[in-house]
Chain A
Amino acid sequence: MTVNTLNAKNLAAPAANVSAYLKSRARWSPFEIAFWVFAFATIWLFPGKHLILKDTAILALFALSLDLILGYAGIISLGQAAFFGLAGYFAGLVAKYGIVNEPVVALVLSGVVAAALGFATSFLVLRGSDLTRLMVTLGVSLMLGEVANRYSNITGGADGLQGVDIEPLFGRFRFDLYGHNGYVYCLSVLFVCFVIVRRIVYSPFGLSLRAVKGNPLRAAAIGIPVKWRLVAIYTVSAGIAGIAGALLTQTTAFCSLDVFSLERSADLLLVLIIGGTGYLYGGLIGAVIYKFLQDWIANLTPQYWQFWIGLVLVVLVLIGRDRMRNWIGTVRGAVAGVGVRLLPRSITLGGAAPDGP
C-alpha cells in the first residue's frame, strides 16, 4: 500500500511529536511552580498564621488522598477517616511508648499501617455501586472508632490519648506551641506526597486508572486488570490519608476519638466540592478556602459558624455549580499548561472556559 510506505517515511517526526506531547502533559506548568513557591513563601510571609496553615496543610494532604481515588479512579468514599484515625493513633502510641522516636520514621510507618488497612478493606469496597461504597467505607470508619472507644485502656477513650511526647524532628526541631516547626514539617510532607502522587497520576498506571474510571467495561476489554488497579490506588490513598492523620497527632501531641468521625470524612468531600476533583490541586485549593472560610466565619459569629458554612456550601453547589465548573476548567487548563494562554480570553468571555471538566 502506498499510504503505508508514505507513513513509514514520515514516522520519525510524528513519533517525536507524540512523545513530546505525552511528556508535556506531565511538565510542571508556571501555575504549579507559582503555587508551590507561594506555599513555601507563606512560612516567612505569615508567621502568625502558622497554626491554621499547619491544619490547612494536613487537610490538604487528607483531601489529596480522597482526590486520588475519587478524581482519578471514581471511587467515592465516606470513610477516609478510618485511615486518618488509625494512623493517628498508631503515631501517638509509638511515640507514647517510645517504640519509634524519630518522627519521620514513625510517620512513614503510620502510612504503611494505614495502607495495610486500605489493602485489607479494598476488597469490601471495590465490589458494588457508589451507594454501597459510601456505606461500606463509612461503616469501616465507624467500626474502628468504636473499637478505639472500647479499648480505652490503650487509646484513652473519650479523653483522648494523653501523654504523647513527640521527639524533636531529626533530633533538633521541637514541635512548638505556635506551630512554626509543625507547619514547615507538614508543608514539606505535603509537598513530597504531592510529588509522588503527581508522578503516579502521569504514569501509565495513572492513565489506566482514568480509563478504568471512564469505562471499566472497555478497560477490561483491552487487558487492564481493573480490580487490581483499584486495589492498588485505594491502598496508596489509604497510606496518604494515614500520613495526614499521623501529622495531626505528631504536631499536636494528642489524638482523640474524633479522628474517626463521620464529620471528618464528610468535610473532605466538601473540600473537594469547593476545589474540584481530578486535577490534583482541587484538594489543596479547597482546603485553603475551606479552612480560611471557617476561620473567618468563626471569628464573625463564633456560635453559628456551622450554619454559615452550611449555607455557603448550599449556595456554592446550587447556584454556583456551572460557574464553578468553568472556573475549575480554567484552573485545570492552567495546571495542564495550555490554559495559561487561554486564561485572559476566557475571562473576557465571562469566565466561560472552552473546556468543561
Chain B
Amino acid sequence: MPILETIRLEKRFGGITANHDVNLVVEKGARHALIGPNGAGKTTLINMLTGVLKPTAGRIMLEGRDITDVVPHERVRLGMARTFQINQLFLDLTPLESIGLVVSERLGLGADWWRVVGTRSSVTDEIVEVVERFRLTDVMHERTARLPYGKQRLLEIALAFTCRPRVLLLDEPAAGVPEAERHELLATIEALPAEVTVLLIEHDMDLVFSFADRISVLVNGSLFVDGAPEEVARDPRVKAVYLGEELDA
C-alpha cells in the first residue's frame, strides 16, 4: 500500500485548472521528486495534500485512510508535514521559541496554559539538537524577522523537520540557499531515517537526480510521466517538454 496517494485529484481557480486528474502514488520510504515547469501546479498539489486548499474533485489517501476532509493541523498529527516555497515563519518569535513551539505541540503540551515554557528538559534538549543541526545556534535569540534570508530558509525547513513527520513535503527547499549550503541541506534531508518518506519539489536537475529514487513530472496540471530517474531521463516526451528547456538554458 502506498503511503500517500491521490485519486483523480483536481483543482480549479475559477477558469484556471491548476491540477487535473492527478493520480500520484508515493511509496513508503521513497525519495520522490516532483518536477515540472513554472506554473505546472506543483505547489497547488502540495496545498491540497496538506489541506491548505480544498480539491475541486478527487480524494487524498494517507496510509490507506481518506484524509480529503481532514483539517490541516490534524494531518500534521497523522504524520504529514511540509515546508513552503515562500517562507512562512513566525517573524515576531525567535528561532528558539519557534522550534520550542513545534516541539511542545508535537508532544501534546501546546494546550498547557500554566507551566512556563522551557521547564521540561525533554523539550529543551530537542530544541538544542535542532538548533545545532540547522546551524541556527548563533542566531537563536534573534527575532526571526531580523535573520538573513539563508537562516530564515533553514528555519523554514527546521520547523517541518521538528514535526517528525512520516511524510515530508518539501516545496523548493533549496531556493535562495547559497550554493555552498545547498548540498549540506540536501545531505540533511538525505540523512533522514529511511522510513521517512520525502516528496521534493525542485528545479535544479542535478539535485533532483542525485536525490530521487522516483520522479513524477507535472505539466499543465496533469501528471505527465512517472517513473525511476533513468526512465524519466530517457523519456523523449520529458526531454521535449521539460528537460529540453532546462538543458538548453
Interface of A toward B, CB cutoff 8 Å: 1, 4, 7, 11, 14-16, 18-23, 25-26, 199-200, 202-208, 210-211, 213-215, 217-226, 229, 232, 355
Q: Is the CB of B117 within 8 A of A203?
A: yes
Q: Is residue B90 contacting chain A, with contact meaning CB distance below 8 A?
A: yes
Known: A15-B124, A204-B109. A210 touches B93 (CB 8 A): yes
Q: Is residue B113 contacting chain A, with contact meaning CB distance below 8 A?
A: yes
Q: Is the CB of B163 within 8 A of A222?
A: yes
Provide the residues of chain B in CB contact with A221, threshold 8 Å: 50, 52, 72-73, 76, 81-82, 84, 88, 160
Provide the residues of chain B in CB contact with A215, threshold 8 Å: 88-91
Provide the residues of chain A in CB contact with B111, threshold 8 Å: 204-205, 229, 232
Q: Is residue B239 contacting chain A, with contact meaning CB distance below 8 A?
A: no
Provide the residues of chain B in CB contact with A214, threshold 8 Å: 90-93
Q: Is residue B4 contacting chain A, with contact meaning CB distance below 8 A?
A: no
* A contact patch SS: helix
Q: Is the CB of A203 within 8 A of B128?
A: no
User: Once the chains are docked, how many angstroms separate the CA of A11 from the CA of B137?
Assistant: 12
Q: Is residue B114 contacting chain A, with contact meaning CB distance below 8 A?
A: yes
Of B37-45, B97-105, B203-211, B221-229, which stretch is located at the interface?
B97-105
| Selected A-B contacts with CB under 8 Å, 26 pairs | A4-B133, A14-B132, A15-B127, A18-B118, A18-B127, A18-B128, A19-B121, A23-B116, A26-B116, A199-B114, A199-B116, A204-B112, A204-B113, A205-B112, A206-B113, A211-B90, A211-B93, A215-B89, A219-B90, A221-B73, A221-B84, A222-B76, A222-B162, A223-B163, A232-B111, A355-B143
Q: Which of B63-115 contact A (CB under 8 A)?
A: 71-73, 76-77, 81-82, 84, 88-93, 96-98, 100-102, 104-106, 109-115
Shortest C-beta distance, A119 to chain B (Å), equals 15
Known: A210-B93, A222-B101, A222-B102. A23 touches B88 (CB 8 A): no
Q: Is the CB of B96 within 8 A of A22?
A: yes
Provide the residues of chain B in CB contact with A226, threshold 8 Å: 73
Q: Is residue B35 contacting chain A, with contact meaning CB distance below 8 A?
A: no
Interface size class of B (residues with CB under 8 A): 35 or more
Q: Is the CB of A220 within 8 A of B129?
A: no
User: Once the chains are docked, how many angstroms separate the CA of A316 from the CA of B141?
Assistant: 33
Provide the residues of chain B in CB contact with A223, threshold 8 Å: 73, 76-77, 102, 105-106, 110, 163
Known contacts A224-B110, A225-B71; 20 further A-B pairs (Cβ under 8 A): A14-B132, A15-B121, A16-B124, A199-B113, A199-B116, A203-B117, A204-B111, A205-B110, A214-B92, A215-B91, A217-B52, A217-B88, A218-B88, A218-B90, A222-B76, A223-B102, A223-B105, A223-B110, A229-B111, A355-B143
Q: Is residue B159 contacting chain A, with contact meaning CB distance below 8 A?
A: yes
Interface of B toward A, CB cutoff 8 Å: 50-52, 71-73, 76-77, 81-82, 84, 88-93, 96-98, 100-102, 104-106, 109-119, 121, 124-125, 127-129, 131-133, 137, 140-141, 143, 159-160, 162-163, 191
User: Once the chains are docked, how many angstroms separate the CA of A20 from the CA of B128?
Assistant: 12
Known: A211-B101, A224-B73. A218 touches B112 (CB 8 A): no
User: Once the chains are docked, how many angstroms separate the CA of A15 from the CA of B90?
Assistant: 22
